[in-house]
Amino acid sequence: MAGRLFTIQEANEALTTVRPLAEEMIRRRRALRELEEEHEALATVAAGNGHGFDPRSAKARMAAVRQEQAALAECVAKIQAAGVQVKDLDTGLLDFPSERDGDVILLCWRVGEPEIRWWHTLDDGFAGRKPLDA
C-alpha cells in the first residue's frame, strides 16, 4: 500500500480537516439520494401517459443532481488528498493508513465518533474493528 502512513496522533489531528468534509459528504449524499428519487418519480410519470409531467422541472432536477454529484465528488477528493480513505459515503466511515507492529493497518473512524479509537487490518474491514488499546 503506497501513500502516507498516519500515527494515531496525526490521524486525530487530521480530523480537524476531514471531519467537516465527512459531515458535508453525508449531507450531500442524502441530498443526492432525495434528488435522484424525485427524478425517478418524474421519469415514471413521463414513461406513463405523461399527464402532469413538466419538462422544465425534470431538467432543473437533473441539473441539481449533477451539482450534488460534483459537490460530493469534491468532498471525497479533498478527503483522499489528505491521505485518508473514504469507505462509506452514507455514514462517513474513513480509514487512515497506519502501522502497527511492522504491519500496515487502518485506523478507523466515522462521523459521530469524538476521536479515532479503532483499527483493523487491511483484510478485516469495519466488521473486524478492534479498540486501539487491544
> Which pLDDT band holds residue 38 (cuts at 50, 70, 90)?
confident
* Domain membership flag for residue 3: no
In a domain, 2, yes or no: no
Number of neighbours of residue 127 by Cβ within 10 angstroms: 6
Instruction: For residue range 7-32, list pLDDT tens digits in order.
Output: 999 999 999 999 999 999 999 999 99
CB-CB contact of 80 with 66 (8 Å): no
State the chain's mean pLDDT as an integer: 89
* Pair type for strands 85-88 and 103-110: unpaired
Query: Would residue 48 count as lying in a domain?
Result: yes
- For residue 92, what are the domain limits? 8-131
SS3 77: helix
Gap between the Cα atoms of 90 and 82, Å rounded: 20
Cell triple for 24: 458535508
CA–CA gap between residue 130 and residue 134 (Å, rounded): 7
| Angle between helix 55-81 and 8-47 (nearest 10) | 160
Given a cut of 80, whether residue 83 has pLDDT beyond it is yes
Q: Got the DSSP string for 3-57?
A: S----HHHHHHHHHHHHHHHHHHHHHHHHHHHHHHHHHHHHHHHHTT-TT--HHH
Task: Give the list of residues 6+ apart from residue 53 with CB closer than 8 angstroms, or none.
Answer: 42, 45, 46
Would you say residue 1 lies in a domain? Answer: no
Residue 76 has pLDDT above 80, yes or no: yes
Q: C-alpha cell of 48?
A: 406513463
Question: How many domains, in total, are found in the chain?
Answer: 1
pLDDT of 2 above 60: no
Amino acid 85: pLDDT: 97
User: In this predicted structure, which of 37-41, 64-68, 115-119 has the lowest mean pLDDT?
Assistant: 37-41
